[in-house]
Amino acid sequence: MNWTAVGAIYRFEMSRFFRTLLQSFISPVISTSLYFVVFGAAIGSRIDEVEGVSYGAFIVPGLVMLSVITQAISNASFGIYFPKFIGTIYELLSAPINFLEIVAGYVGAAATKALFIGIVILITASLFVPMRIEHPVAMLAFLLLTCLSFALLGFILGIWASNFEQLQLVPLLVVTPLVFLGGSFYSISMLPGIWQKIALANPVVYLISGFRWSFYGLADVPIAVSLLAIAAFTGICLAVIWWIFRTGWRIRD
């Protein structure tokens, strides 16, 4: 592994993040505050508790997952799409580094940015509601795995996209609705029977369920299934990226 190359790509991507640090810091804080005002205050005043947890605290894991997933995808997709757009990706491909080192640099930077946003949101949420984290190691593991897996997905989307509109298409029309319908602001046990079964077809349910379990010991699906789901998703993304670099799909066009 050429760690010098990985470090160079990582530092380049992180420097872009630090140039807009104020925007990157203020935006999630304001968004999280608005979610708590709208959902925590307006809806929380009508729903006291969900499975023994106050509604304001119950939605914290969902808010973190919502922001982490969208940030990981957007940072990774733009990070690899921009070199492809301006043509500098050919310099990267001709350098003496393999695809694992390229992926490690871009995906590592995107996952780090998403992790930073997740921590900022957790700190912001603690100012609004009292929280407890029953399984801190599991919480950190789920957070890191989510950042990594969706940064891999964003990397794939960045290679697939041929314009800036396509870059936003999948996150806006597919990923965000799946997160909202994945139990971010409610437990799927609150749904009618048939809709509970339909909700289980949503892969984001397993991520949010496992992450919420690490906070309050509550889960819509068994924790082992959640871990298996995120591991399988990460493996699929890695396999797709390997195939992309092996065939040159959307890179050598």
pLDDT in tens, 168-218: 888 888 888 898 888 888 888 888 878 888 888 888 999 999 999 999 998
pLDDT the model gives residue 56: 82
**Average pLDDT rounded to a whole number, residues 81-88:** 87
Mean pLDDT over all residues of the chain?
A: 87
- Six token digits for residue 81: 């799409």
Indicate the SS3 state at residue 54.
Answer: strand
| CA atoms of 14 and 110, how far apart (whole Å) | 8
| CA atoms of 175 and 101, how far apart (whole Å) | 27
Q: By the 8 A CB rule, do 40 and 59 touch?
A: yes
DSSP 200: T
Task: Tell me which of 29 and 58 has the higher pLDDT.
Answer: 58
Nearest to 158 by CA among 13, 1, 7: 13
Tell me: pLDDT of 140 over 90.
yes
- pTM assigned to the model: 0.91
Question: In the chain, how many H helices and how many E strands?
Answer: 12, 2
| CA atoms of 205 and 126, how far apart (whole Å) | 23
pLDDT the model gives residue 242: 93
pLDDT the model gives residue 41: 65
pLDDT the model gives residue 215: 95
Tell me: pLDDT of 82 over 70.
yes
| CA atoms of 205 and 219, how far apart (whole Å) | 10
| CA atoms of 41 and 113, how far apart (whole Å) | 29
**Average pLDDT rounded to a whole number, residues 16-35:** 76
| CA atoms of 200 and 26, how far apart (whole Å) | 34
Tell me: pLDDT of 253 over 80.
no
- Six token digits for residue 139: 């919480």
- Six token digits for residue 7: 């470090």
| CA atoms of 42 and 68, how far apart (whole Å) | 24
Tell me: pLDDT of 40 over 70.
no
What is the percent of the chain with per-residue pLDDT over 70, rounded to a whole number? 96
- pLDDT band at 76; cut points 50, 70, 90: very high
Task: Tell me which of 101 and 92 has the higher pLDDT.
Answer: 101
